[in-house]
Structure 1
Amino acid sequence: MNKLLSCRFNMDTNRVEAQFEDETVLALDCIAIEDEYGNTPAQRAELDWLLYNKPLEYAQMVLRGETEHYLSLGCDHGWLED
């Protein structure tokens, strides 16, 4: 996969739009992600927090398939930070 350069949350479509190094743009459907992984209010709140505050990290987590693992850690903001 190409390097992920930037992300932005589009409130009108409720999607994170991710742009890659090769200029490909991918839209992540945040409602579908929450429906799949947000089983509790705390998990949904954590996904929302990431979405609004760190859309790049949100996209990286989803694209790497780490959403379930992240939420299993107890919804502690910021474990994705270097």
Structure 2
Amino acid sequence: MESLLSCEFNMDIACVELKFTDGSMIAIDTIAVENEVARNMYERSELDYLIYNDPRGYADIVLNGDPEIYLKTVTEYKPLDS
């Protein structure tokens, strides 16, 4: 893979698409990622925010980082009964 040309969310197929200068492409299925790593609506909301506002950051977390650790760091979940 060469350098990144574009990174954007394709709403038609619910994927973040990365296109590279050598013609290769990666499509990240955002629904599958949410189903695997998000445990509650707050974590899903955080992933949705990244998908729409920072698709490159989202792709970086999914491909190079650990999305579960990221979600534990940025979301605060407090049950209503506490």
Same fold by TM-score greater than 0.5: yes
The structure that has the greater radius of gyration is: 2
Tell me the CA shift for residue 2 of structure 1: 4.4
Tell me the CA shift for residue 19 of structure 1: 1.4
Sequence identity percentage: 46
Given the two structures, how large is their TM-score scaled by the length of structure 1? 0.81
Q: 1: CA distance between counterparts of 2:4 and 2:41?
A: 29
Match of 2:39? 39
Q: 1: CA distance between counterparts of 2:29 and 2:5?
A: 19
Residues 24-73 of structure 1: per-residue CA shift (max 9 Å, x gap): 11110000000001111100000000000000110111011321111010
DSSP-derived class of the 1:8 partner: strand
- Structure 2: runs of 5+ lacking an equivalent: 77-82
Q: 1: CA distance between counterparts of 2:21 and 2:72?
A: 31
Given the two structures, how large is their TM-score scaled by the length of structure 2? 0.81
Q: 1: CA distance between counterparts of 2:37 and 2:3?
A: 25
Dislocated runs of 4+, deviation >2 Å: 1-6, 20-23
